[in-house]
């Protein structure tokens, strides 16, 4: 017995697979989490196979789920790309499709995109916040014009990259926290200082794990949200590790201060990526040039 593919359900599945949690996917899709969970369960029932392992902090794909994502993910990306191209050909508005890791949406892109759009009123941005791996996948699949990731991410041979700037990771904490004076004086995260870290799988956590392999830190909490991390730091639950751009912007607005660290010393570069077998579209090239020209003055 066969059945017609439920394309909406497949789109929902790909979104959940991309985000890693039902809650994050539901936020992105603009629907309730219970409704999304029911739709995925219905798809699994139709297929007669589980698509996700449930039980951990983040969902993981079963072998069937991995096969489905690998097989149809690229095809759906090509559909999105074709749709965008047709719309741009029939409209006076040009789309600029950007994908970025979540942290860069908290300070880098919001500061540069408005000033660029003032000079390019015909451009309509299409912005997608994703994990590092998903940004790479979108760039490889030609679904986006440009992706923004860190140089700590393993890139593929079919991607071109361009370094934009160096990003320092700093300690963000409340000035009244019990460890505040110690941290300001030593600039080191000793084992008595609790740390609020991003969950494993995030680029910033991978960087932290490598830098502290011989002398592990006291990880008090693991989170997957910039906002929650800052709120926990505000409550003096621990020290957050954040890009300096976040520290001088959003964190300072919450009354938090920051310190550059001697241990662990965390630095990385932000790079733009795209397919190396095609040229950037003119407005994508213009936006990258705008970023390289304007960001040094802002940072």
User: 85 lies in a domain?
Assistant: no
Residue 1 has a pLDDT of: 44
| 48 shares its domain with 140 | no
pLDDT of 35 reads 87
71 Cβ neighbours under 8 A, 6+ residues apart: none
Domain count, the chain: 3
Q: What confidence score (pLDDT) does residue 228 get?
A: 92
Parallel/antiparallel/unpaired status of strands 146-150 and 266-275: antiparallel
| Pair 138, 130: CB distance under 8 Å | yes
> Does residue 60 form part of some domain?
yes
**CATH, residue 179:** 3.40.190.290
The reply to whether 84 falls in a domain is no
Residue 94 lies in a domain: no
Give domain status of residue 24, yes or no.
yes
Identify whether residues 133 and 276 lie together within a single domain: yes
Please compute, for residue 230, the number of CA atoms within 13 A of its CA located in the half-sphere on the CB side: 21
What pLDDT is stored for residue 3 in this prediction? 54
**110-119 as b/e: b if 16+ CB within 10 A:** ebbbeebbee
Phi, psi (deg, nearest 5) at residue 211: -75, -20
Measure the CA–CA gap between 223 and 237, rounded to whole angstroms.
Answer: 13
Q: Is 214 in the same domain as 143?
A: no
Last residue of a domain, one of 54, 70, 86: 70
| CATH at 152 | 3.40.190.10
The dihedral of CA 271, 265, 256, 202: what is its sign?
positive
The reply to whether 109 and 224 lie within a common domain is no
Domain of 35: which CATH number? 1.10.10.10
Q: Are residues 125 and 184 in the same domain?
A: no
* Backbone dihedral region for residue 187 (phi beyond 0: left; psi -120 to 50: alpha; all else: beta): left
**One domain for residues 286 and 157:** yes
Structural domain of 228: 167-268
User: Same domain, yes or no, for 175 and 123?
Assistant: no
Render each residue's pLDDT in the chain as its tens digit; 299 residues.
Answer: 455 567 788 888 988 888 888 887 876 676 788 888 999 999 999 899 999 998 777 889 999 999 988 888 777 777 766 766 665 565 556 889 999 988 899 899 999 999 999 999 999 999 998 878 788 888 887 889 999 998 866 778 889 999 999 999 999 999 999 999 999 999 999 999 999 999 887 888 889 999 999 999 999 999 988 889 999 999 999 999 999 989 988 899 899 999 999 999 999 999 999 988 888 889 999 999 999 999 875 55
Phi, psi values for residue 97, rounded to 5° = -95, 115
pLDDT of residue 87: 59
70, 88, 121: which is the final residue of a domain? 70
């Amino acid at each position: 017995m066969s059945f017609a593919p439920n394309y909406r359900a497949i789109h929902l599945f790909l979104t959940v697979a991309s985000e890693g949690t039902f809650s994050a996917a539901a936020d992105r899709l603009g629907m309730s989490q219970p409704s999304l969970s029911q739709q995925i369960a219905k798809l699994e029932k139709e297929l007669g196979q589980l698509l996700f392992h449930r039980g951990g902090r983040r969902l993981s794909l079963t072998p069937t789920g991995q096969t489905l994502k690998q097989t149809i993910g690229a095809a759906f990306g090509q559909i999105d790309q074709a749709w965008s191209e047709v719309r741009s050909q029939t409209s006076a508005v040009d789309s600029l499709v950007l994908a970025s890791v979540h942290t860069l949406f908290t300070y880098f892109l919001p500061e540069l995109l408005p000033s660029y759009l003032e000079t390019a009123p015909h451009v309509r941005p299409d912005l997608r916040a994703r994990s590092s791996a998903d940004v790479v996948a979108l760039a490889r699949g030609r679904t986006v014009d440009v992706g923004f990731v860190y140089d700590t991410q393993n890139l593929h041979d079919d991607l071109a990259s361009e370094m934009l700037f160096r990003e320092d990771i700093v300690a963000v904490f409340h000035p009244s926290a019990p460890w505040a004076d110690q941290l300001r004086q030593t600039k080191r995260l000793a084992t008595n200082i609790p740390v609020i870290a991003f969950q494993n799988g995030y680029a910033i956590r991978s960087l932290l794990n490598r830098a502290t392999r011989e002398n592990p830190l006291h990880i008090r909490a693991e989170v997957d949200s910039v906002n929650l991390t800052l709120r926990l730091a505000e409550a003096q639950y621990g020290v957050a590790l954040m890009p300096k751009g976040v520290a001088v912007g959003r964190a300072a607005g919450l009354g938090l201060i920051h310190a550059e660290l001697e241990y662990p010393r965390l630095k990385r570069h932000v790079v733009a990526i795209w397919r190396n077998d095609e040229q950037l579209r003119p407005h994508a090239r213009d936006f990258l040039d705008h970023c390289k020209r304007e960001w040094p003055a802002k940072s």
